[in-house]
C-alpha cells in the first residue's frame, strides 16, 4: 500500500468512526496542498475503463453528470466528446482544484452532496469508484439517489471494485457485491451489460451499464 493509500485509509477510518462518513473527502483534498500524488485515485487522465466504454458509445449532444468528480478528468473527457456536462463533488477543495486545472472548461462544476441534490435528470450518469468509498449502510441509500438522476431512456455507467458476499470488508475502499448493485434495478433501472474485469486477476473490477 502506498503512503497516499495508507493516509486515505486512516482518514476514512477516523471520520467514519466519529460518525462523519463523508467528511474525509474534503480533509483529503484540503491537506493535499495541491499535490495530486497524495490523492490515490488522481490519475490526471480519464479512467481507462471509462475511455474504453466511451469509444464504443456516442453521446454527442446529450446531457451528463459525473458523481464525485474528483479532479475532473472524466468530466472533461465527456465535454471533449460533445456532451453538456455537470460534475459535482462534496469537497469544496476538489471543485476549486478542477476549476484551476481547467479554467476554460465548459463543464458545470458544483460543490454538492449526493444526498441533497436538486439537479434534475440526465441522459448519462457516471458513477466511478465513489459508492465504494462509503460504508455499506450509507451506500444502500446512495444507490437509489444515483438512480434518480437517470432520465427516461437515459444511461448509467457504474465502475467499481467487486467482491463476493462472504469476503470481509476491512477498510476503504469497500468493494461492492452484486446484491448491492441490484439496488439499481430495484430503483427502476434495467441492467444492460455486466462486465467482470479482473485487472490484475487479484482485483475484481466491474463495469455495469444500466438504462432508465
Query: Would you list the DSSP string of 184-211?
Result: HHHTT-EEEEEEEEESSTTSEEEEEEEE
Closest CA to 122 of 88, 166, 159: 88
> E-strand spans in 7-99?
63-67, 84-89
* pLDDT of 75 strictly over 80: yes
pLDDT single digits (tens) 155-185: 999 999 999 888 888 788 999 999 999 999 9
Give 143's contacts (C-beta < 8 A, 6+ positions apart): 131, 180, 181, 183, 184, 187
What's the whole-number average pLDDT of the chain?
Answer: 94
Is there a contact between 115 and 143 (Cβ–Cβ < 8 Å)? no
* pLDDT of 63 strictly over 90: yes
Give 14's contacts (C-beta < 8 A, 6+ positions apart): 24
All domains of the chain, ordered by start, with CATH? 43-211 (3.40.50.150)
The CA distance from 194 to 204, in Å, is: 13
pLDDT single digits (tens) 112-154: 999 998 889 999 999 999 999 998 889 999 999 999 999 999 9
SS3 label, residue 30: helix
* Mean pLDDT value across residues 15-19: 92
The CA distance from 72 to 103, in Å, is: 12
Tell me the HSE value of 201 on the side-chain side, using a 13 A CA sphere: 0
pLDDT single digits (tens) 193-206: 999 987 655 678 99
Is there a contact between 184 and 156 (Cβ–Cβ < 8 Å)? yes
Measured in residues, the chain has a length of 212
The CA distance from 212 to 203, in Å, is: 29
The CA distance from 31 to 11, in Å, is: 11
Amino acid at each position: 500500500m502506498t503512503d497516499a493509500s495508507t493516509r486515505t485509509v486512516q482518514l476514512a477510518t477516523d471520520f467514519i468512526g466519529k460518525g462523519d462518513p463523508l467528511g474525509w473527502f474534503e480533509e483529503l483534498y484540503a491537506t493535499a496542498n495541491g499535490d495530486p500524488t497524495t490523492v490515490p485515485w488522481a490519475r490526471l487522465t480519464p479512467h481507462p475503463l471509462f475511455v474504453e466504454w466511451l469509444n464504443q458509445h456516442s453521446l454527442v449532444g446529450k446531457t451528463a453528470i459525473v458523481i464525485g468528480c474528483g479532479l475532473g478528468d472524466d468530466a472533461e473527457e465527456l465535454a471533449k466528446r460533445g456532451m453538456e456536462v455537470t460534475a459535482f463533488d462534496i469537497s469544496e477543495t476538489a471543485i476549486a482544484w478542477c476549476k484551476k486545472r481547467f479554467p476554460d472548461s465548459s463543464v458545470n462544476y458544483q460543490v454538492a452532496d449526493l444526498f441533497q441534490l436538486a439537479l434534475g435528470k440526465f441522459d448519462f450518469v457516471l458513477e466511478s469508484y465513489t459508492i465504494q468509498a462509503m460504508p455499506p449502510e450509507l451506500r444502500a441509500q446512495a444507490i437509489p439517489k444515483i438512480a434518480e438522476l437517470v432520465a427516461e431512456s437515459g444511461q448509467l455507467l457504474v465502475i467499481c471494485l467487486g467482491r463476493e458476499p462472504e469476503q470481509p470488508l476491512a477498510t476503504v475502499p469497500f468493494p461492492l457485491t452484486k446484491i448491492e448493485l441490484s439496488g439499481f434495478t430495484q430503483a427502476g433501472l434495467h441492467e444492460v451489460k455486466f462486465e467482470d474485469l479482473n485487472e490484475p486477476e487479484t482485483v475484481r473490477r466491474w463495469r455495469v451499464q444500466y438504462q432508465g
